[in-house]
Chains A and B, each alone.
Chain A
Amino acid sequence: MADDLKSGRIVVVGASLAGLRAAEKLREEGFTGSLTVVGDEPHVPYDRPPLSKQVLLGQATADTTELPVRRNADAEWRLGVRATGVDLTAKRVLLADGESLPYDRLLITTGTRARPWPNPEEAGLAGVFTLRTREDAAGLSERLSAGPERVLVIGAGFTGSEIASACRERGLEVTVAERGPAPLVGALGGTLSKLAAVMHRNHGVDLRTGVTVTALNGNGAFTGAQLSDGSRVEADVCVVALGAVRNVEWLADSGLAADPRGIACDAGCRAFNMYGIVTDDVFVAGDVSRFPHPLFGYQMLSLEHWGNAVEQAEVAAHNMVNPGPLRRPHLAVPVFWSTQFGLNIKSVGVPTYSDHLVIAQGSLEARRLAMVYGFKGRVTAAVTVDMAKSLDYYRHLIETGAPFPPPPGAADRPIAADVPVPSDVPDPSVLSHGPTVALTGHLPDRRLTVV
């Protein structure tokens, strides 16, 4: 049987980071059968994080971020064609060009797309952008190079903040509008969000919090926006950074457990069907998945993290070509990073799965710190600002369920001297920016359900 799994037909739908790494891993694991990777974008797999950093800063062009390969995946790349459905009984993926691809095992890595501005007419104004694809980045970068008078960024999550940071670095005037109380509050909670707000303002960003954008104005081209506090922002470029939407619509009639929160799968990346029964030939990985994690109460995590796309893709690929007893669970602790306003922010664990936090190293004043998050007396996350070398230590605390407040360890002072403060994680529904980590389960004493 194990030999059968190394041959046959595998189709991967989604040709970005997770799809590429899965394809490579399948070959590394000894898969010798036919491998087809389907992608709706007409490009070979490319990297997205540089699009909001190097590309907007003008240090790289959007058409040079293709991902280097680790090995030849010996795959047939069907690029520029959208998958429109899957027939689980006939075991075929349907394509927009009318063709259908038979498979023995299927991997879904369709990821997310930028959440569009809700009014299509306003979204269509020249000068209004989202940022997710190579084309988005090329268009926005070109507009920024032309020297606009002011850029309006809607949403102060990680993407919105990085865009604002890049604009300021290029000397452009920026207004950021966020419905929540501060930037990054949805991902990092109250304390760090205050530092983020200071960083925005110290770098000359016109930061407006507690407001929504009620209308984008312009006659053909964007000229400004109305805010809910009655004010108006005059700007000629607008970047809508409202988070991401999972690419699941094509699975609506498939019978898989696919909804706006993603495609539910087990710890081995096997997709559930709509009855909650696990499939054995359909696998999921990357941003489009949601999966249970034992460190976070077995809640179903949706992660929009680069590292998760790679690790989960590798686990899925391994499990696709190995029999049950040799399969592995996807248990990696979530890690992500963001560089903005000259600070390197890194996070391990799930900061939103917390009730209190304590600063274990450094200080907010120094703009260099390690903050540890706890939930019900256990360490569940840590965030470092310009202290990345400490992150592994805190990952170990999370993995081992260390008590919160944490033991001295890497702390540069007695932790007991610092009183843990509430982590102030807001209800995600009050934010403009979507969360990049969504806890989609339910805690009896604390509602964290999103979407």
Chain B
Amino acid sequence: MRTVVDLTRCQGYAQCVFLAPEMFELHGEEGLLYATAVPDDQVERVRQAAAACPVQAILLGEEVSPDGR
């Protein structure tokens, strides 16, 4: 699974940092750095982080599968 954060929306509420500390971290006061690749054992945590994000900036999903159309 892959994740991307819409940093245009992100306002640094940092709920994701509490819910999935291995995937999200603050860089300074409010700059968000996130892991792009989500290992299987972190998927549920990232799901929770995406649900809890006050500005709904986190997207979790599979990448495009070129052969599977």
For A80, the closest partner residue in chain B by CB is: B66
In angstroms, how far is the closest chain A Cβ from the Cβ of B53?
13
The residue that B64 contacts in the complex, of A50, A57, A77, A335, with Cβ under 8 A, is: A77
Asked if A343 and B8 sit within 8 Å, CB to CB, the answer is no
The residue that B8 contacts in the complex, of A45, A75, A335, with Cβ under 8 A, is: A335
Q: How many residues of B contact A (CB 8 A)?
A: 30
Asked if B11 and A388 sit within 8 Å, CB to CB, the answer is yes
In angstroms, how far is the closest chain B Cβ from the Cβ of A351?
16
**CA of A67 to CA of B63 in the docked complex: distance in angstroms?**
6
Asked if B61 and A68 sit within 8 Å, CB to CB, the answer is yes
**CA of A77 to CA of B27 in the docked complex: distance in angstroms?**
36
The residue that A388 contacts in the complex, of B10, B35, B60, B64, with Cβ under 8 A, is: B10
In which size bucket is the chain A interface?
35 or more
Known: A66-B2, A337-B8. A344 touches B63 (CB 8 A): no
Asked if B60 and A344 sit within 8 Å, CB to CB, the answer is no
Asked if B63 and A307 sit within 8 Å, CB to CB, the answer is no
Give the chain A neighbours of B64 by CB distance below 8 A.
20, 44-45, 66-67, 69, 73, 77
For B61, the closest partner residue in chain A by CB is: A68
Give the chain B neighbours of A368 by CB distance below 8 A.
29
Count: A-B pairs, CB below 8 Å: 101
Give the chain A neighbours of B31 by CB distance below 8 A.
339, 342-344
- Chain A positions 27 through 67: 1 when the CB is less than 8 Å from some CB of chain B, otherwise 0: 00000000000000000111101100110010110001111
- Chain B positions 23 through 61: 1 when the CB is less than 8 Å from some CB of chain A, otherwise 0: 000011111111111000000000000000000000111
Known: A60-B36, A69-B64. A386 touches B30 (CB 8 A): yes
Asked if B36 and A54 sit within 8 Å, CB to CB, the answer is yes
The residue that A77 contacts in the complex, of B6, B34, B60, B66, with Cβ under 8 A, is: B66
Q: Is A74 an interface residue (CB 8 A)?
A: yes
**CA of A310 to CA of B60 in the docked complex: distance in angstroms?**
16
**CA of A391 to CA of B7 in the docked complex: distance in angstroms?**
12
CB within 8 Å of B: which A287-339 residues: 305-307, 310, 335-337, 339
Asked if A344 and B34 sit within 8 Å, CB to CB, the answer is no
For B26, the closest partner residue in chain A by CB is: A344
Give the chain A neighbours of B7 by CB distance below 8 A.
49, 306, 337
Give the chain B neighbours of A337 by CB distance below 8 A.
7-8, 10
The residue that B36 contacts in the complex, of A44, A47, A72, A77, with Cβ under 8 A, is: A47
In angstroms, how far is the closest chain B Cβ from the Cβ of A304?
13
Asked if B63 and A44 sit within 8 Å, CB to CB, the answer is yes
Give the chain B neighbours of A47 by CB distance below 8 A.
4, 36
Give the chain A neighbours of B62 by CB distance below 8 A.
68-69
Asked if B2 and A54 sit within 8 Å, CB to CB, the answer is no
**CA of A242 to CA of B12 in the docked complex: distance in angstroms?**
30
**CA of A301 to CA of B65 in the docked complex: distance in angstroms?**
34
Asked if B28 and A343 sit within 8 Å, CB to CB, the answer is yes
List A residues at the B interface (Cβ < 8 Å).
20, 44-47, 49-50, 53-54, 57, 59-60, 64-70, 72-77, 79, 305-307, 310, 335-337, 339, 342-344, 368, 386, 388-389, 391
Question: Which 9 A/B pairs are nearest by Cβ-Cβ distance?
Answer: A68-B61, A342-B28, A66-B63, A339-B31, A307-B8, A344-B31, A64-B37, A44-B64, A77-B66
Q: A68-B60, A77-B66, A388-B12 are in contact. List 5 more A-B contacts (CB 8 A).
A: A50-B36, A67-B2, A69-B64, A335-B8, A342-B28
